[in-house]
Chain A
Amino acid sequence: MAWLKKLVGAVIVLGGAAAVAGWALSAPVRLDAAAVAQLGPGDAAKGKRIFYAGGCTSCHAKPGAQGDARLELVGGLELKTPFGTFVPPNISQDQKDGIGAWSEEDFANAMLKGVSPSGEHFYPAFPYASYARMKPADIADLYAFMKTLPAAAGKAPDHKLSFPFTIRRGIGLWKRLYLSPEPVIALPEGTPDKVLAGRYLVEGPGHCGECHTPRDFAGGVKKGEWLAGAVAAEGSGIVPNITLGGGMKDWSEADIANYLETGFTPEFDSVGGAMVEVQRNMAQLTADDRAAIAAYLKAVPPHPNGYPARKPAS
């Protein structure tokens, strides 16, 4: 029976090694000193643009808030997904319930690395997998702008998730697969600045790919089907394909920019669903920013729809 003992021993050693490796690989990784040094002092006026490009208020305002109440970032919306219900937290300037006590470095670690001040992983329902592509200066400007927003007391309820998604440490492994500051679409040398600016807005702060790209079994964005549309994570329905392989292929750049400004498609249908909030944020950007987004969308490789065709009416 000596061989059995050896086998058991080997299994224990291997299992232990895997556990140690898994523990090491899943550790939260913060920004290094060089990256922190790049942040610099932020400019609140410039940060306002980033705030609307990022759509922070769409998830973090109180559900149904209108007007100035949309700047009270108390959280509490429920995002019902196959992994469970995510509840965006209070990110107002409240010292206790919000992020009023966070340093600029804390904020940058949350946005770029998905790590909380106490060293925990955030769930990627907070789209830091996109924000990781943002420029340090923009993070600093956004931090400065958010400092000008009101403090609003009240903790949002906790996420309601099912096992194994309750284990935050596992997100560390997810990040090794899906977290990268590199652009999704490589653009050739000599690409016009407008397209590059659009790429930054769409892939970074705008986090368009989070909803408009299908995800694999582990919840990572399938970069090979970038912006091909997807089955909606919440509820029924789909999020449209916004590559030239989808229904927007005949839209001109001006049509796309006009849609983002007014909410009307070239056929004079109106914006709907979760895009309503997004469009209202995009309407706050400059005409140049909207034109840049349009130019980039025209440069993205076309894909067939990332969702199944509609079943015939029964």
Chain B
Amino acid sequence: MRKLVIAISMLAFAGSAAYADPIKDRQALMKERGKLAGQISKVVKGETPFDAAAVLDALKALEANAEKFDADTLFPAGSDKGDTTAAPKIWEDMAGFKAAEDKFLADAKAAVASPPADVDALKAQLNTLGGDCGTCHQTYRIKKS
């Protein structure tokens, strides 16, 4: 019984720890997003051959990643401090920040809904999605050394 209580409390602790560091969580999500963009980019550049199924998987993964992005959980008040490159502008203009993210989600959904048939179609989709990355990072991220 004692062991069970300890185990449960440890689990609870581990669970709360996962939420205790929104900075790490949001960075992990962004890293994954970059990796997926990298996979798609390799196809656009001709470094990996175009495989419709693999491309669709990558786009679906991007959509799933975007779905997981919840600004309220990942960017709570006070999480502008610490090892983060999040710009103070996020908390000054939370509505604008959420709109930028919503656009990315909508564009990812649109890409999955009309899977690209060739490299050119994929390139156009990557331009749109990559543009969303830049638009958000233009205002809501600061560069640190």
Contacts and interface: CB of A to CB of B under 8 A. Distances in A.
B41 A264 contact: yes
B89 to A, nearest CB: 9
B78 to A, nearest CB: 13
A271 B34 CA distance: 12
A264 B137 CA distance: 12
B103 interface: no
Interface in B110-141: 126-127, 130-131, 133-135, 137-138, 141
A239 B143 contact: yes
A118 B53 CA distance: 64
A280 B133 CA distance: 13
A313 B143 CA distance: 15
B38 interface: yes
Contact of B134 (A232, A238, A258, A272): A272
A277 B133 CA distance: 13
Contacts of A240: 143
Given A238-B144, A239-B143, A309-B145, A271 B37 contact: no
Interface residues of A, number: 31
Interface residues of B, number: 26
Interface string B48-88: 00000000000000000000000000000000011101011
Given A264-B41, A313-B82, A313-B83, A272 B143 contact: yes
Nearest to A272: B137
Contacts of A308: 145
Given A237-B144, A309-B145, A276 B138 contact: yes
B134 A276 contact: yes
Interface centre among A239, A305, A310 (most CB of B within 10 A): A310
B41 A273 contact: no
B142 interface: yes
Nearest to B30: A269
A236 B142 contact: yes
Given A262-B41, A268-B41, A313-B82, A273 B143 contact: yes
Contacts of A310: 144-145
Nearest to A306: B145
Contacts of B87: 237
Interface in A180-217: none
A263 B138 CA distance: 11
A26 interface: no
Interface in A255-286: 258, 262-264, 267-274, 276-277, 279-280
The 4 A-B pairs with the shortest beta carbon distances in the complex, nearest first, are: A272-B137, A270-B133, A237-B142, A268-B38
Interface of B: 34-35, 37-38, 41, 45, 81-83, 85, 87-88, 126-127, 130-131, 133-135, 137-138, 141-145
Given A237-B87, A268-B35, A280-B134, 17 more contacts: A229-B145, A232-B143, A235-B142, A237-B142, A237-B144, A238-B143, A263-B133, A263-B134, A264-B37, A268-B38, A268-B41, A270-B133, A272-B142, A273-B141, A307-B145, A310-B145, A313-B81
18 contacts: A229-B145, A232-B142, A235-B142, A236-B88, A238-B144, A240-B143, A264-B37, A264-B130, A268-B38, A269-B34, A270-B134, A270-B137, A271-B137, A273-B138, A274-B138, A276-B134, A276-B135, A276-B138
